[in-house]
Amino acid sequence: MRAALTWRDKAEQCIYDLAFKPDGTQLIIAAGNRLLVYDTSDGTLIQPLKGHKDTVYCVAYAKDGKRFASGSADKSVIIWTSKLEGILKYTHNDSIQCVSYNPLTHQLASCSSSDFGLWSPEQKSVSKHKTSSKITCCSWTNDGQYLALGMFNGIVSIRNKNGEEKVKIERTGGASSPIWSICWNPSRDEHNDILAVADWGQKLSFYQLSGKQIGKDRMLNFDPCCVSYFTKGEYILLGGSDKQVSLFTKDGVRLGTIGEQSSWVWTCKVKPDSNYVAVGCQDGTISFYQLIFSTVHGLYKDRYAYRDNMTDVIVQHLITEQKVRIKGRELVKKIAIYKNRLAIQMPEKILIYELFSDDSSDMYYRVKEKIVKKFECNLLVVCSAHIILCQEKRLQCLSFSGIKEREWLMESLIRYIKVIGGPPGREGLLVGLKNGQILKIFVDNVFAIVLLKQSTAVRCLDMSASRNKLAVVDENDTCLVYDIHTKELLFQEPNANSVAWNAQCEDMLCFSGGGYLNIKASNFPVHQQKLQGFVVGYNGSKIFCLHIFSMSAVEVPQSAPMYQYLERKMFKEAYQIACLGVTDTDWKELAMEALEGLEFETAKKAFTRVRDLRYLELISSIEERKKHGENNNELFLADVYAYQGKFHEAAKLYKKSGHENLALDMYSDLRMFDCAKDFLGSGDPKDTKMLIKKQADWAKNINEPKAAVEMYLSAGEHMKAIEISGDHGWVDMLIEIARKLDKAEREPLSKCAFYFKKLDNPGYAAETYLKVGDLKALIHLHVETHRWEEAFALTEKHPEFKDDVYVPYAQWLAENDRFEEAQKAFHKAGRQSEAVRVLEQLTHNAVVESRFNDAAYYYWMLSMQCLDIAQENEQQKTEMLQKFHHFQHLAEVYHVYHSIQRYTEEPFSFHLPETLFNISRFLLHSLTKETPLGISKVNTLFALAKQSKALGAYKLARHAYDKLQGLQIPARFQKSIELGSLTIRSKPFHDSEELVPLCYRCSTNNPLLNNLGNVCINCRQPFVFSASSYEVLHLVEFYLEDGITDEEAVALIDLEAPRLNKRANKWQEMMSDNAQSLRLDDDTDITEDDDPFTAKLSFEQGGSEFVPVVVNRAVLQSMSRRDVLIKRWPKPLRWQYYRSLLPDASITMCPSCFQMFHSEDYELLVLQHNCCPFCRRRIDESNQ
């Protein structure tokens, strides 16, 4: 660092303070009772400002540059504008010692001997605050929140912007060490606000905002009058009684003197954002200096060390961009770096560092040696075990312990030194002198070796990697390259300021100058590109360039020199250049050029770099062929041309080398069939057919399928033609192909049929299957297309396919929610288990979903299914018959419960109260053993209780309510049942006689609640109920005597034997497909006292066993066919016979489920539902 005086002026009075305008264009100086305004560029006085009546002690400029203020011994403060006009004046009680503007709010603090005031443009008055001591100096923090006041009694008071004291710093010197200058560090990089304090105890100290001291006091050995920071806070200026301005680091380390004066320095400030310093002295001298900070640095290969903040050294790894800072507390004068060594010269010592490890990327340095001596030198060089000092013409070699080992004295001034490497302790140095002499010196040899001498002075030197060539830049900016052995000048280039050889390539060097970077390879012309700065190193594709103070690694593609070698077919040299760093495109170009030049080794390496596997395979195949003795370079080159897309050149070379077939294959693969025909040769039909096939493939690929189909057919490739036609949906083309094919060609015909199915054309598919004779596939076709009629027709002719049709048909029906038809289809297919499983699932679902009518129907179907199985399978007969009776019972129960459930769930009932009453009783009597799933006893008893009470069966109603008390009742019925239980107590404890059921066998009145169930309590004869109203029908079941078959019994009944009593009116029997009915033509009662059947009704009183009515042939013969109803069950069940005992009511029986109805009810229900309400047999179905 050195200071250059820019301008100087002399005022008549002492200069107590000065201030720069924030833009740096003007300097305001307090001289006597005036302010002097200078132009900083040349030191001319712009204008003196008068306004004060006594000496001006202080001046300060606002940060926004609009105003500045001055304070004087006349106790006044004047505010001036930037146009140098006074706009405001206010006073204190004592002389003004210092003024300072808040950097953010532009509030002005003015301090006197006894108080300080705060003024801002917004307020009219000045708020003043008393102090216990004289204020000598003040300074605001960067954020404008706090104001530090320096006192004559040695105290620093830190106030907020309202003037209230927040921190008080009491220093050790007390009143004997008055604070004379303070300043806050303006740096924004610091984490804390730092206050520099200079006192007349000759100390410099630093404090945090909290009052905590940073570090120790630094002794100055003079009385400081002013302290100020550089704009960014990196350095401190101090001036005072030592009659000079000193430069310190921000930590208080003295770096040097800026300018010596002839009297005390009262003020010194830095021009904003620059390295210019203004100094004001006791004798009125105003000095303006420029500070010049020279670059102190060192470079070795990819490590660059440079000085930072004058005391620190930063080592930068130019490849990895890593940086490490080595902190020092003294001025760094020189830096040298070599391999793992780093030397730093300070004013009184030299420190030698070494790397912690041998790792090339390690950045951790530790101190190895310390030479505590003061040295004066122009240049410093470090080696593995030595320090080299350059002093004008003299070179000194010192060991790390500071002992001088060797000394060389040169003829002329030394201009350049560079370590060029060597064994540890025996390194070589290149030395360039002002007289043009270039020497090589070894640190272990006292004799210098003269390499060569030129006429011009040396500015820069470098030696090539193999030590064969020397590059020199002379004082005329010329780069000269010599052969070291022959001393011959190989070439020279103008406009050079520095030069460097490539560390990885012998023939490449670069030099910089005139704003350009020049790269030269061998003897080729120079390649230029724009670059500012000095080239200091060249490694591979990276060029290290120093521009002003920053070092950067510039990535430079080596394309230009590579192409220079390629032009001369120097492939190996071009490859070496490419290895330094070129683009992928350059690598491909090198690879292609080498391949065409049949330099396979270089081409292989280059293609490996760009990962081009196709060309690597080609080179590998050529190398393999060469190993087997093939050496036809024309053929190799033809292959290369073919790979490169130069097909016509390749074809010519193939033909020239006698391999026309290769040209044919190439053009065929390229679909260039017109060119291929030129190489067909003798016209071998195999080649022609192959060519047509390839042409068809190509037509298919370029989306011309019609042409492809025609070509495939002409080449006999039927399958491919069919696939294309099928994929494009060309049905006409497919059927045309199918009809032309022979039926023995099963595979293409099957493919045609497959596409017909896929294209939804089952007719053509059926035709194709018939041509092949594949009946099974035809059946599957009908099934897949749901053409069931055609499938059934085929099944009739070929019963072996029965399973293939009926099982999918049943599944299709089930998928379409036609479960009943599905069940029948399973049944028809002989899949009894599936049929039963479908029914069981349907039944379960119906119960779970509370569709009890459907459940009854499915249980009935299930019972009939069991009957069919019993008929077919003798082994399962007993089990199936048990299931039949069980399912029949469940069907009746669910059929009845359907009405109960609707009554309890729905708001309106479709049944008469008597019907609901009968249904409830029937259901209650049927649930004597166990209650099936889904049936609620609560609902049944609730309906029974309500209807019994309504019809006058109070005893039964009471019984029902009592039973309900023992059950878990839903909340919705709770209130109704409790009310009913109470109100029924008011009714008589008996049932209406009208409701009591009568047994038609023994004429006994049965109680409404029968413990035996639905049988007579007297004769045990089971009651026969109407399946709609559930009234007891006037029917009595009778059985045949042993030995009488069903057929014989029907024949005897049908004989119509003459009656003893003539009757005017006859029963008329009506037979139809839908029902078997007995109807009375007249209302006249006919007595049949002599009826043999009536005699059979008698039984033995008091017996607990049921005695059935058994009839013989005579009784049967006496019966009228019109009085008998027969349930004609299929085998193995016997038929059931019923005799009507009342001629006044007509009864109808469903011929399918054999349920009995009152004829009027049946007719009404059939009209409503168009089917039997129980088994859902439609009226239009024929009797089965």
| Domains of the chain and any CATH numbers | 13-224 (2.130.10.10), 454-555 (2.120.10.30), 557-611 (no CATH), 1012-1184 (no CATH)
Q: What is the pLDDT of residue 439?
A: 92
What percent of the chain shows pLDDT beyond 70? Answer: 80
Q: What pairing do the DSSP bridges indicate for beta strands 96-101 and 341-346? A: unpaired
What confidence category does residue 1082 fall into, taking pLDDT thresholds of 50, 70 and 90?
very low
What confidence category does residue 1168 fall into, taking pLDDT thresholds of 50, 70 and 90?
confident
Phi, psi at residue 604, to the nearest 5°? -60, -45
**Residue 851: pLDDT over 70:** yes
| 1037, 1109 contact by CB (below 8 A) | yes
| 465, 501 contact by CB (below 8 A) | yes
Structure tokens at 551: 């070092």
pLDDT (tens digit per residue) in 270-304: 999 999 999 999 999 999 999 988 888 888 888 88
Q: What is the pLDDT of residue 246?
A: 94
pLDDT (tens digit per residue) in 121-171: 888 789 999 999 999 999 999 999 999 999 999 999 999 988 999 999 998
> What's the pTM value of the predicted model, to 2 decimals?
0.52
| Most confident of the following: 80-89, 973-982, 1098-1107 | 80-89
Q: Which of 173, 69, 48, 174 is nearest to 111 (CA)?
A: 69
**Residue 1084: pLDDT over 50:** no
Q: What is the pLDDT of residue 78?
A: 96
**How far is Cα of residue 1036 from the mean position of the Cα atoms in its chain?**
83
What confidence category does residue 360 fall into, taking pLDDT thresholds of 50, 70 and 90?
confident
What confidence category does residue 1060 fall into, taking pLDDT thresholds of 50, 70 and 90?
very low
> Which H or E run includes 130?
strand 127-130
What confidence category does residue 705 fall into, taking pLDDT thresholds of 50, 70 and 90?
low
User: Any idea which of 637-641, 791-795, 1012-1016, 1106-1110 has the lowest mean pLDDT?
Assistant: 791-795
**How far is Cα of residue 911 from the mean position of the Cα atoms in its chain?**
67
| 340, 358 contact by CB (below 8 A) | yes
| Most confident of the following: 3-12, 913-922, 924-933, 1102-1111 | 3-12
Q: What pairing do the DSSP bridges indicate for beta strands 224-229 and 213-219? A: unpaired
Higher pLDDT, 1128 or 850: 1128
Q: What is the pLDDT of residue 1065?
A: 42
**DSSP string for 743-811:** TT-HHHHHHHHHHHHHTT-HHHHHHHHHHHT-HHHHHHHHHHTT-HHHHHHHHHH-GGGHHHHHHHHHH
**Residue 734: pLDDT over 90:** no
Q: What is the pLDDT of residue 865?
A: 78
Give the C-alpha separation, 330 to 311, whole Å: 5
Q: What is the pLDDT of residue 1183?
A: 45
pLDDT (tens digit per residue) in 663-678: 666 665 665 555 555 6
Residue 919, judged by CB atoms within 10 A of its CB (0-12, 13-18, 19+), counts as buried
pLDDT (tens digit per residue) in 416-469: 998 988 899 899 999 999 999 999 999 999 899 999 999 999 999 999 888 899
Write the CB contacts of 446 (distance below 8 Å, at least 6 apart in sequence): 406, 408
What percent of the chain shows pLDDT beyond 90? Answer: 30
**Residue 102: pLDDT over 60:** yes
Q: What is the pLDDT of residue 98?
A: 96
| CA-to-CA separations, 152 to 55, 70, 92, 857, in angstroms, rounded | 20, 21, 18, 118
pLDDT (tens digit per residue) in 400-416: 888 999 999 999 999 99
Give the C-alpha separation, 882 to 900, whole Å: 27
Structure tokens at 485: 């052995």
Query: What integer is the mean pLDDT of 708-717?
Result: 57
Give the C-alpha separation, 1094 to 1099, whole Å: 11
Residue 1069, judged by CB atoms within 10 A of its CB (0-12, 13-18, 19+), counts as middle
CA atoms within 13 A on the CB side of 106: 13
What confidence category does residue 854 fall into, taking pLDDT thresholds of 50, 70 and 90?
confident
Q: Which of 689, 753, 745 is nearest to 726 (CA)?
A: 753
Give the C-alpha separation, 104 to 390, whole Å: 52
pLDDT (tens digit per residue) in 221-262: 999 999 999 999 999 999 999 999 999 999 898 888 998 999
Give the C-alpha separation, 1014 to 1077, whole Å: 25
Q: Which of 228, 245, 346 is nearest to 289 (CA)?
A: 245
Q: What is the pLDDT of residue 664?
A: 60
pLDDT (tens digit per residue) in 739-763: 666 665 655 666 666 665 665 556 5
